[in-house]
């Protein structure tokens, strides 16, 4: 499967703010879905739910503060299982 790249622009005054939006439950719930739960440290699992539409579970694989967040889809639509998501 080829890589898919989505470029998302954000308005932030610092990389610290952007990183917090990707690496905290409150931050993630603030821009993706309110129904967000889990652990944000490496090895933790995050659960994102979208009502009747279902959701995704992600495992946190890597964190580089201010630089990179890497997840792997571990549950959700079958075609997404095993997909890496990198910010």
Predicted confidence at residue 5, as pLDDT, reads 75
Task: Name the token pair of 61.
Answer: 């694989």
Predicted confidence at residue 36, as pLDDT, reads 97
Q: Is residue 26 part of a domain?
A: yes
Q: Is residue 3 part of a domain?
A: no
Predicted confidence at residue 11, as pLDDT, reads 80
Predicted confidence at residue 2, as pLDDT, reads 61
List the CATH number of the domain containing 51. Answer: 3.30.530.20
Q: Is residue 24 part of a domain?
A: yes
Residue numbers of the domain that contains 31: 15-86
CB 19 within 8 A of CB 10: no
- Give the pLDDT of the chain (87 residues) as one tens digit per residue: 567 777 777 787 888 888 999 999 999 999 899 999 999 999 999 999 999 999 999 999 999 998 999 999 999 999 999 999 999
Three-state secondary-structure class, residue 21: helix
**Count of domains for the chain:** 1
Q: Is residue 32 part of a domain?
A: yes
CB 56 within 8 A of CB 45: no
Q: Is residue 1 part of a domain?
A: no
Question: Among all chains, which residue has been given the structure tokens 């610290």?
Answer: 16
């Amino acid at each position: 499967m080829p890589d898919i790249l989505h470029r998302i622009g954000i308005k932030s005054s610092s990389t610290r703010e952007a990183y917090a939006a990707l690496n905290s439950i409150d931050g993630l719930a603030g821009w993706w879905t309110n129904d967000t739960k889990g652990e944000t440290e490496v090895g933790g699992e995050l659960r994102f739910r979208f009502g009747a539409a279902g959701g995704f579970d992600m495992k946190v694989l890597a964190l580089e503060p201010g630089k990179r967040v890497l997840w792997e889809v571990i549950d959700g639509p079958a075609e997404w299982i095993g997909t890496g998501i990198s910010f």
